[in-house]
Amino acid sequence: MADSRDIESEQKKETEGSHSNSKQDEEVKKFEVYMENEIKYLSSSPVSYTIHRIVKPIRDVKPEAYTPRMISVGPLHHGEIHLKAMEAHKLRLVNDLLKERKSRGVTLDDFFNEMRSSVKEVRQYYSELISLNDYEFVKMMVIDGCFLLRLILGLSHYNNDSMFNDKWMPHVMRDLILLENQLPFFM
């Protein structure tokens, strides 16, 4: 016959086991929340990222070869202090593009809504999660995309511009071809 101490010992083990299970359940739930937050912008299908940061060992050899000096395009260097001065020039070119397109019936709303409808897909081109919320991300992509479009369509228009001249344009162009300073091509 089982001793009362043996029964108490068995009950204690069962209680500890259920306590351990509830702690494990809490950890699983915590992990699920973590995963949901980390992958909310990723699709369920594998994606081939096209815009990456340069890996640290390569970047460390010559960091200035991979860092924009004057202008940022896209989210990887967006908001860096030393690049803020060019934001006003980007907005000026965006405004010029919008004035030109308005006569064709294309508005800022059109650009913004088109970008907003593609935000999840655009985020997937980057190899890392972008911390900007959707509004800030869309705003940045519209400004940067319109800036590039205006620059490509009418660079000759800015020959007498203090920023877009023979002195500054080589530096701007250098920044625009950097691997970390890119927009997805379909934009």
- How would residue 28 be classed by pLDDT, with cut points 50, 70 and 90? confident
Domain of residue 127 covers 56-176
The confidence band for 6, taking pLDDT boundaries of 50, 70 and 90, is low
Q: Considering the domain boundaries, does residue 161 fall inside one? A: yes
Segment 109-126 shows an average pLDDT of: 92
When pLDDT is averaged across residues 44-63 and rounded to a whole number, the result is 81
Residue 23 has pLDDT above 90, yes or no: no
Per the model's pLDDT, the better-predicted residue between 162 and 114 turns out to be 114
Per the domain annotation, does 125 fall within a domain?
yes
Asked if the structure places residue 83 within a domain, the reply is: yes
Query: What is the average pLDDT across 162-183?
Result: 86
Which residue did the predictor score with more confidence, 40 or 97? 97
Q: What are phi and psi of 112, to 5 degrees?
A: -65, -45
Find the mean pLDDT for residues 44-70: 84
Structural element, H or E, at residue 4: helix 4-38
Contact 87, 140 (CB under 8 A): no
Residue 17 lies in a domain: no
- pLDDT in the model for residue 44: 47
Domain count, the chain: 1
The answer to whether residue 31 is domain-embedded is no
Task: Decide if pLDDT at 15 tops 50.
Answer: yes
What are the tens digits of pLDDT across the range 32-50? 888 877 776 554 444 566 8
User: For a pLDDT cut of 90, what percent of the chain falls above it?
Assistant: 45
Query: Residue 104: pLDDT above 60?
Result: yes
Question: Is residue 86 in a domain?
Answer: yes
* Domain-located, residue 69: yes
How confident is residue 165, by pLDDT bands cut at 50, 70 and 90?
confident
| pLDDT score, position 178 | 94
Predicted local distance difference test score (pLDDT) of residue 115: 94
